[in-house]
A = this chain, B = another copy of it.
Amino acid sequence: MTQRILRFLADECPDTPCLVVDLDRVEHNYRELAQALPVARIFYAVKANPAPALIERLAGLGANFDVASPGEIDLCLAAGVEPSRISYGNTIKKKRDIAYAYQRGIRLFAFDSEAELDKLAEAAPGAAVFCRVLVDCAGADWPLSRKFGCHGDMAVALLTAARRRGLDACGLSFHVGSQQTRLKQWDRAVGAVAKLFGRLRDAGVEPRLVNLGGGFPTTYRTDVPPVADYARAIMNAMTRHFGNDLPEIIIEPGRSLAGDAGVIETEVVLIARKDEQENRRWVYLDIGKFGGLAETMDESIKYPITTPRDGGTTGPVVLAGPTCDSADILYEKTPYLMPLDLSIGDKVRILSAGAYTSSYSSVGFNGFAPLKTYCI
C-alpha cells in the first residue's frame, strides 16, 4: 500500500470494487529489477495487467513486452512500443495471428511443437524463434502444469528443423512457475538449458538466447526473497553453467512489476453465520472469484487484506464474493482473521492485487460490471 494510493482512495472515494495501480511503484519495481539484472532484457508480461497507462509508463522506461495475442500486440503498438521490442511469447497461435504479428513488424516468437514451427516457417519467414522446454515447477504457488514446453530432446530436434527451414533458431526458454520462491529451481533449469545449448551446437545450430521466463514473486501474505537474491541466483546459475560465454538473457516479469503496485478497494456486503453455534463468520465482499480474484482458485494466492478496524480483537472468517455462484468463495480453508467489530459497509483493502486481477475479471457474471482500474 503506497502513500499515493492511500491519498487517492481518501480523496476520490471511488465506487467499489476497484483496482488502484500506483505507476510510480511499477516504475520502481522495473528500475530495481533492471539494476539487479543489468545483462537481461526485460519483457513485461502484458497479461499480468494490460492497463494502457501502465504499458505506456513501462514503454517510456525502455521496457520490452511479452504478448499473448493480436489484442496485446495492438495495445503495445498503440502505446508507442516499436515492434522490435515485442516478443510473441504464446506457444499457441493461429497462423493468421502469426502473419498479423509479422506484418506489424514483430520478429521474435515462442514455440514448442512441430505444428507451430510449420506455421512460423510459413507465416513469419526468417523470424527469430525460441523453443520452450519443460522444467520442474515445484515450489511455485501457481505451478505451470505441462501445458507449455516440450521435452529437451524434442527441443533440439525442433530448433534444428527451424534452422533448416530458414528461421533464426535463436535459443530456448523455460518457466519455473509463477510466484516461484525456491531459488534453486533457476539453477536446475539453467543447467538443463546449458546442456541443450551444447547439443544444439553439435547439431549445427548456434543458439544465443536464454529466455528465463517469469516466476519472480511479489509479496502476498508471506515474505519472499528480495529481487537482489533472485538476480544473484540467476547470475550464479548462468555463470556456473555457461562460464564466460554468456548468452543473451531475456526475462518476462509480470507479477513482480505490477503486483505490489495495486490495491483493490472493496466493500463488505454482508457478514453472516450459518447457525447460532458457528464460530466463523462468513464475510461477503463486493468482489470475488469472477470479479478479478481468479487466482484464489484452490486458494493458491493468499492476498494480504486490511480493514479499517484492524488492531482490535479478531476472529476467524470465511471470505466470499457477491455472486450467486457457490464456487465464488475466496478463502474457506486458509485461516483468515478479521476484527470482531468488522461491519457491513466497511471498506476492505486487498493488497498486492496489481497483477492477474483486472484482466481475469468476468465480462459481467451475475450482472456485475468488470473490475475498474485507476492508474495513478
Contact = CB atoms under 8 A, between A and B. Distances in A.
A313 to B, nearest CB: 19
A232 interface: no
A221 to B, nearest CB: 20
A273 B113 contact: yes
A67 B142 CA distance: 34
Contact of A271 (B68, B75, B115): B115
A307 interface: no
Contact of A150 (B113, B271, B274): B274
Contact of A326 (B142, B267, B271): B142
Nearest to A110: B324
Contact of A90 (B119, B273, B324): B324
A323 interface: yes
A154 B275 contact: yes
A367 B72 contact: yes
Contact of A153 (B151, B276, B290): B276
A99 interface: no
Contacts of A212: none
B270 A147 contact: no
B272 A68 contact: no
A70 B53 CA distance: 30
B359 A145 contact: no
Contacts of A113: 270-273
A76 B340 CA distance: 39
Given A72-B366, A72-B367, A147 B282 contact: yes
Q: Which 6 A-B pairs have the closest CB atoms?
A: A71-B367, A113-B272, A151-B275, A72-B367, A69-B367, A144-B326
24 contacts: A46-B367, A47-B324, A47-B366, A68-B366, A68-B367, A69-B322, A69-B368, A71-B369, A91-B270, A92-B320, A93-B269, A95-B344, A95-B345, A113-B270, A115-B272, A145-B326, A145-B329, A146-B274, A149-B274, A150-B274, A154-B274, A290-B360, A297-B297, A359-B365
Given A71-B369, A72-B366, A297-B327, 15 more contacts: A47-B323, A68-B323, A68-B367, A69-B366, A90-B323, A92-B269, A92-B320, A95-B344, A95-B345, A115-B270, A145-B326, A145-B332, A149-B274, A358-B363, A363-B370
